[in-house]
Structure 1
Amino acid sequence: MILGFFCFGSTTIGMGHVSRCIGLANAAQSRIPDLHVVFEVDDDPDALAMLARRRPGDEIRPRTTAALPQGPWDILVVDRLAVPAEDMATLRGRASCLVSIDDVGPGHWEADIAVNCLYGCRTPRPPHSRTDDLSGIRWALLPPALWEQVHEHRPRPTRLLLAQGSGDPHGLLPRLVEILAPVAKVRPGLGLDILTGPSFHRHEPLDTMLARAEIPFRRHHAVPSSWSVLAAADVAVSSAGITACELAALGVPMVLVTGESKEVETARMLDDLGAATAVGLFEPERTAALTAAVIELLDSEQKRHAMGEAGRQAVERHAAEIILDRAIALARSGRDM
């Protein structure tokens, strides 16, 4: 069986799309013995390096043109935003099963299975569509290995985690250190953890700000498994992408602040579920709200516990397996099964 991934992935956009597809590929490996995996991904050195490191046996096709993937595919997963409907219809003709992830436009309704865990589709379902529509944080496609991590609730917080995805594309981490270092300074025993991925390259401004902060800190850069770092946090300040879904699944209470406007919707969804406090876009006038939200979590054991439990309940542990099983059945039996 041929499983294809047509996905975003760059230092500017972030690595969440690639990381999510890698997790799906790993889950598929245990379900399909004769699996051949093909990645069609942006020609970005960080994305290609991540794939080479985590999926060394797969066929990797760096995209240098705007041409659509040719196929044929048994299953094709499209993890890109707002793909034109006509392009998705073309891709549907080249795959036995077409899966769309987080497409907010009309292309969403051309897929056999459409998964929107971060952003809601803004286009009403057209009459012709037979799409299996799976929407909401519940369907965050998290890798099985994440669930092996255990987050322990501690009465007294000792670790405050700062994370802005793999690459911190908006350069928020130095500012977050500057804003939150005074909060940590007056709490004996509380240290900062700063998590960055392989696509992070703004080391100098972050290191400079950490040196000025004069508080205990640990930097975790391009670690083999970021999930152990996430699970060890008592409170996290995170962007509102895949990392926020991972924190929710682990039961880590969090404050969400982002430089990406489209992530505001995700932050609100998690806030509505009780799994996070959403500050929204990072702006100077929201600094006080950010600080207050972090202090409230650090000082309230009851709120941390309640938020962590809400996060665990918000995410379906077996989402990846459920979606893969549906896709495999459709690919093997045909669309008219």
Structure 2
Amino acid sequence: MGNKIIVLRVDGGKDIGMGHIMRTIALANDLKKKPENKEVFYITKNDPTAVNKLKENSFEVVVIDKELSYEEEIEEVKDIIKKRKVKKLITDSYEIDQNYLIEMRKVVDKLVTIHDHAPFAFPSHVVINGNAYAEDLDYESYYGDTEFRLGMEYLLLREEFRNLPDIQVRDKVQDILVTVGGYDLRNLTPKIINAFNELDLDEIDAQYLDKENLHIDVVIGPSFDNIDQIIEEVKKSSLDIALNFNVKKMSELMIRSDMAISSGGSTLYELAVTKTPALVLLQADNQARVAEKLDDENIINLGFESKNIKFGIKETVEKRTNLIDGLSLNNNFKTI
């Protein structure tokens, strides 16, 4: 049994989404398997969605108060690290700035930062950005000793999306997946269902769409507050629509789907791995760069324009074959 203790300082929830939590779970699970690591646990703010998701994945969670001031939070996290004799700290939060990291480096042997942007010179020993655009950014090291691990070979894919079997691709679209994340910030799901209701399927060539067997899976995230509105839209529809709550394995839904309508973020890489072309509607500004980089690769990016969903669906169905071949993504990643 090893003696290294590792902590991940990550937040998630209704306001900021669950992307940071979900991608670090992939890394944390790998770290737990290594014999040299005695403990792997999380420090996170007291948002029930994030805490419950981590506990569902069998992680110990040390909760800190959301109301702590910036200085108080730093001191509390440092105190936890010292008391637990943590050797390695991994951070993944846009709210953690340069000074915060400088303070954390004082109390650990190794500081690892996962970050999608390059807003400052990093004092961390290692910085990871597995995004498609990572190598386009101008990263700097504060102390001159930072190792930058950039690009999709460092993509933090959840275990269920790695080492997938050969995926059979149907000639026509039959199953469509709708997934906009843990919280439907822009109320996109009812708008998407409404767009399907208004779409004239006869306008889509039969060579692209299996109209008689069309099925739509809608994923309901844990923080959705618009479920009643979604149900009302489904009731209006003559299409075969299933609502999926508490989805445990998104990979299975993606694999059986011929295309998706999705928000941005790391979900786009998961869709690429499962060969699921997507029409993308953004929920937040931090999703824009990924969608722009992958546009016309394996996705069609509508950005924040939700008025054109109906036309976007038709375009994605008709361009699907080209989009499947657009991005070749290895479903293994290098760890730390």
What amino acid maps onto 2:322 in structure 1?
A: K
1:173 offset after TM fit, Å? 0.7
1:103 offset after TM fit, Å? 4.8
**Mapped pair 1:323 → 2:323:** no
**Mapped pair 1:281 → 2:304:** yes
TM norm structure 1 = 0.83
1:34 offset after TM fit, Å? 4.1
2:156 and 2:48 mapped to 1: Cα distance?
24
Question: Which of 204, 209, 234 matches 2:233?
Answer: 209
| Shift in alpha-carbon separation, 1:301–1:255, aligned structure 2, 3 A | closer
SS of the aligned residue for 2:16 comes to coil
2:199 and 2:321 mapped to 1: Cα distance?
20
**Counterparts of 1:247-262 in structure 2 under 5 Å?**
247-262=271-286
Q: Tell me, yes or no, if the aligned pair for 1:163 and 1:196 is still in contact at 8 Å.
A: yes
Q: Sequence identity, in percent?
A: 19
Structure 1 residues 42-90: Cα deviation after superposition (integer angstroms, max 9, x where no partner): 211111111121125x243244424122114322111101522111111
Higher fraction of helix: 1
1:156 and 1:106 mapped to 2: Cα distance?
44
Question: Which of 100, 113, 120 matches 1:100?
Answer: 113
Q: Which moved more, 1:296-305 or 1:25-34?
A: 296-305
What's the counterpart of residue 297 of structure 1? Answer: 316
2:6 and 2:27 mapped to 1: Cα distance?
10
| Shift in alpha-carbon separation, 1:301–1:280, aligned structure 2, 3 A | closer
What's the counterpart of residue 206 of structure 2? Answer: none
**Counterparts of 1:1-337 in structure 2 under 5 Å?**
1-32=4-35, 34-56=37-59, 58-64=60-66, 65=68, 66=70, 67-68=73-74, 69-70=77-78, 71-72=81-82, 73-81=86-94, 83-107=96-120, 109-118=122-131, 120=134, 124-125=139-140, 128-150=143-165, 151-183=167-199, 185-186=201-202, 187-271=211-295, 274-284=297-307, 287=308, 290-300=309-319, 302-307=321-326, 310=327, 313-314=328-329, 316-319=330-333, 322-324=334-336
1:277 offset after TM fit, Å? 1.6
CA-based RMSD: 2.4
1:82 and 1:137 mapped to 2: Cα distance?
24
1:178 offset after TM fit, Å? 0.9
2:271 and 2:116 mapped to 1: Cα distance?
23
1:153 offset after TM fit, Å? 0.5
2:188 and 2:234 mapped to 1: Cα distance?
13
What amino acid maps onto 1:163 in structure 2?
A: T
Q: How many residue pairs were aligned?
A: 311
Q: Which runs of 5+ in 2 are unaligned?
A: 203-210
